[in-house]
Amino acid sequence: MTNKSNMEIAILWARVSTREQSEEGYSLDAQVKLLRDYALNNNLKVVKEFVTPETASSSQERKQFQKMIEYLKSNINIKHLLCEKTDRLTRNFQDASTLDDWLNGEL
């Protein structure tokens, strides 16, 4: 049983980029369930979920990523970003650099 008073907060990121990924066990539902279970088992409270379906255009996906970054910037108490795989989170070096800046407290 988790102690809710000691829970740290987290956000969740789930993304699929192709229909094949959805059908091979990487569905959004599977990712979200896995990450919610991880949070529960690791005393983390998920306060926001960012979920991007494979049907989203590249610009829509980038908007979601930017919304997530803005959320992190405005909620500096969030120290945990949950994703099923790193390649679900970053699409390019710029994304990786932005997340590195967040990890280092430079956003």
Domain that holds residue 51: 4-92
| pLDDT of amino acid 42 | 96
Residue 15 φ/ψ, nearest 5 degrees: -150, 140
Assigned domain for 98 exists: no
- Characterize 65-86 residue by residue with b for buried, 16 or more Cβ atoms within 10 angstroms of its Cβ, and e for exposed: beebbeebeeeeebebbbbbee
Q: pTM, whole model, 2 decimals?
A: 0.78
Q: Which whole number is the average pLDDT over 75-102? A: 84
- Token look-up 């088992």 returns 41
- Count of residues in the chain: 107
Average pLDDT over residues 76-103: 83
Q: Please tell me the predicted confidence (pLDDT) of residue 46.
A: 97
Average of per-residue pLDDT across 82-107: 81
Q: What is the CATH number of the domain that holds 39?
A: 3.40.50.1390
Q: How does residue 54 score in pLDDT terms, banded at 50, 70 and 90? A: low
What pLDDT shows up at residue 23? Answer: 57
106 within a domain of the structure (yes/no): no
